[in-house]
Amino acid sequence: MVKHLYIIGNGFDLHHGINSSYKDFQEWMYENNPDVIEKADEIYGICDDEWWSDFENQLASLDTVRYSSEIAFENQPDLASDHCDRTWNDAQIEVENQLEELYSDLRKCFHEWIMQLNSPLESRKIDLIIKGSVFINFNYTKTLEHLYGINQHNILHIHGCVDNDEDFILGHGKSYEELKSIHTVDLPEPPEDLSAEELSEFYEDHTDDGQMLHEQLAEDAAISGVASQRKPVEEIIKKHSQFFNSLAKITNIYVYGLSLSEIDVPYLQHILSIVESAKWEFSDYKGTNSFKIKRFCENNNIHNYNVIELKSIIDTAQLKISFTDL
């Protein structure tokens, strides 16, 4: 009978000596793909260490007003042209092309970086309860399979795995509606059957607070492009509903190496809606995640929990007492 659920995040791989932090990704990018970093800087503004340290969430940080305005300025419609109606969306197309190219390059680089990560260290193994356990792994690596010998059928690689042909799932947590609420775009719809001259006049007359229509089109394209990089959490949960529904009788949940970021929490909340009653254990590296752990437990009425450091269960692994023995 399955009693234990392990939820594994990147801190788990970092504990095992794998160079899998976003800082490591940034350094690898500088060494192997500086042109993509330059492209990200041009679109997002200078992407500093802080930006890269929160890479996935920062994909939602694009200042769409600034960026789209710059593109619109460089692609202004020729109002004197007989074909002006064909140029109103030039800026929109340029935004779409630039963002599509950047995001495609970033995902390709991310995949290449993951595929070359170093192996975990045997000396950093911790005590895991293998029997009667299942695992949700947020990492793309196979540390659980290779270092701990855990059967792959007991592991859900929720965002993809190095052995699968599917693309890795990555992205931010902002929906199109959330992004649009920050930068409201209200595009006028021209009447049908207008001549080229009438259409040009319509576009000239219909502006939003002095903003030309081509700027609005470009801005909406920027918002849509950023929204396309959202991690589809609801779809992922639905796809793996059978696995989640099997967790109802879990008694112990171990959250090891998960940052509890905004994009992580919906998964845990879904588990809470299924699991009847469980004791939780969170890992926290040198207290860096203590606030998030406390806030998550308070917000979700979790009172039966404790916090450890993963290194504390290396030397004392043989002394570790299972919750079920208490």
**Averaged pLDDT, 33-59:** 96
**4-20+122-171+231-325 to CATH, choices 3.40.605.10, 1.10.10.10, 3.40.50.720, 3.40.50.1220:** 3.40.50.1220
Quote the CA–CA distance of 96 and 270 in Å, as a whole number. 34
Output the six-digit token pair for 223.
């918002």
By DSSP bridging, strand 305-308 and strand 155-157 are unpaired
Contact 195, 137 (CB under 8 A): no
Domains of the chain, by residue range, sit at 4-20+122-171+231-325, 22-116+174-227
Contact 79, 204 (CB under 8 A): yes
pLDDT band at 203 (very low <50, low <70, confident <90, very high): low
> Tell me: the pLDDT tens digits for 55-102?
999 999 999 999 999 999 888 876 556 554 556 788 999 999 999 999
Does 200 have pLDDT greater than 90? Answer: no
Quote the CA–CA distance of 310 and 8 in Å, as a whole number. 12
Name the pTM for this structure: 0.85
> Tell me: the pLDDT tens digits for 227-236?
999 999 999 9
